[in-house]
Amino acid sequence: MERYFDRLEKEPLIAERWKKIEELESYGIKPFGRKYDKQNMIGDVLKHNPDENLKFKTAGRIMSLRGKGKAYFAHIEDQSGKIQIYMKKDELGEEQFDHIVKMLNVGDIIGVEGELFITHTEELTLRVKSISLLAKNVRSLPEKYHGLTDVEIRYRKRYVDLIMNPEVRETFIKRTEIIKEIRKYLDDRGFLEVETPMMHQILGGAAARPFMTHHNALDLDLYLRIAVELYLKRLIVGGFDKVYEIGKDFRNEGISVRHNPEFTMIELYQAHADFNDMMDIAEGMISTICEKINGTTDIVYDGVQLSLKNFKRVHMVDMIKDVTGVDFWKQMTFEEAREIAKEHHVEIAPHMNSVGHIINEFFEQKCEEKVIQPTFVYGHPVEISPLAKRNEENPNFTDRFELFINKREYANAFTELNDPADQRGRFEAQVEEALRGNEEATPVIDEDYVEALEYGMPPTGGMGIGIDRLVMLLTGSPSIRDVILFPQMKPRD
């Protein structure tokens, strides 16, 4: 405690608040109260009118305060809404008025009991008959009319952001509603929600750089998971027909408006299905949730009008041909494809050694930014899809899709590879790619997963959807930091 108060010499405004706290204590008032029997949310109080002659008991934070002499007005706010209150000495009594009301500041949390009336300005107001101080504000809130506008401070001090900006609270309430609707959509269709490990001995399920940790008792290095795919498919082997998991994944990548190293994904798997079924589920889920959250499937995001229904479906090679004129349906050598890439200024990394790699780079560098309306881009090359089943008509490609909306990827899915020999060969190719310098390739073969496939996995469709990006889309949020309560930030000096 002494160290805490030592620093107040540098913060005179806080020191002044502490003097007021000491004065409150001298009156026998606890500045940081105990449990309060809050019987009504403010939003519920606002639904009533004075004619009902009802008494209410609620609590909230003081967001504005004005008055002098024997009467004060204030606005208090909780998660559900904000209401004006009226505190008068004749009704509260001298002790409560002088020892509590006159000592109040904006930011204090109070409990109040009273009845509704309408002021001469026609504002619904709670006439306070009893008041309790629940928590004294020590650090002043940002100035009312400017609020908390510094974006970096908003993210670093989310608690203040939530106090000052009701629209931010609304975004996170919508996030919870979106996740609830995702669960409902899948539960209603017979899917089972499960939980799998967050610490893995072997990387797998996605191409990404990992975070590492160490288990002291076992003297074992572990990875924070980059995906849950391989564990969920083990459950399909084990006899579950439909499973999903909503949880955190961790990827050691850059931070941007679309990327946070810790993010939320949903992955789902359905036995006896394929990637076409996953398209149907993705389109149905997103359009249904958008309708429930926004009342329509027509939205505007980042200034662009989008229709979240009747998603397009187009093969990757066909899109490349439409955009660039290059026809990768034609047979060609790697050297020929590399020359075409050079002519079209498509950069190729040193570890890329196949036509399939070049096809994917053509799409990412030339086509992604042109996909605006919801589009399933399918038919990814085998080389970049180590867990997807080959297409029967053209084994150079896989039955895989990515969902793009307004230039961004929202889902990744495929008909799962269930041939253990083919799967092991794909893993081996990933190891070789890692040795050639691809930091996102999986450097170790997951022998246990191959063994699981040897017991037999039925034909399966699987899909992953980024929850954070979906919430951004459905709430009109420009940055992933706007939909993650506590995003990762660079430490200050």
Q: Which residues are annotated as a binding site for Mg(2+)?
A: 402, 409
- CA separation (Å) from 299 to 42, 107, 303, 387? 31, 36, 10, 34
Six-digit token string for 459: 């034909």
Q: Which amino acid, residue 443?
A: P
Using the structure block, give the residue that is written with the tokens 């009156």.
27
Number of continuous H segments (helices) and E segments (strands) in the chain: 16, 18
The whole-angstrom separation of Cα 406 and Cα 306 is 8
How many Å apart are CA 448 and CA 459, to the nearest integer? 19
Structure tokens at 487: 């995003």
363 within 8 A of 316, measured Cβ to Cβ: yes
Phi first, then psi: give them for residue 440, nearest 5 degrees. -95, -5
Look at the block and give the residue holding tokens 């899917």: 191
Q: What is the CA radius of gyration of the chain?
A: 29
Distance of alpha carbon 80 from alpha carbon 77, whole angstroms = 8
Binding residues: 402, 409
Contacts of 70 (CB under 8 A, 6+ apart): 88, 89, 90, 97
Query: CB pairs under 8 A, 24+ apart, for 486-493?
Result: 486/158, 487/155, 487/260, 488/255, 488/260, 488/261, 488/262, 489/152, 489/155, 489/156, 490/255
Task: Give the angle 430-433-438 at the CA atoms, nearest 5°.
Answer: 110
Distance, in Å, from the CA atom of 390 to the CA atom of 388, rounded to the nearest integer, reads 7
402-412: string of b/e by CB count within 10 Å (b at 16+)? bbbbbebbbbb
Cα 297 to Cα 217: distance, rounded to the nearest angstrom: 52
CA dihedral 478, 479, 483, 486 (to 10 degrees): -150
Strands lying side by side in the sheet with 375-378? 192-193, 242-250, 262-271, 460-466, 408-415, 400-405, 375-378, 312-315
Alpha-carbon separation of residue 209 from 414, 439, 441 (angstroms): 22, 6, 8
- Residue 137 CB coordination number (10 Å): 17
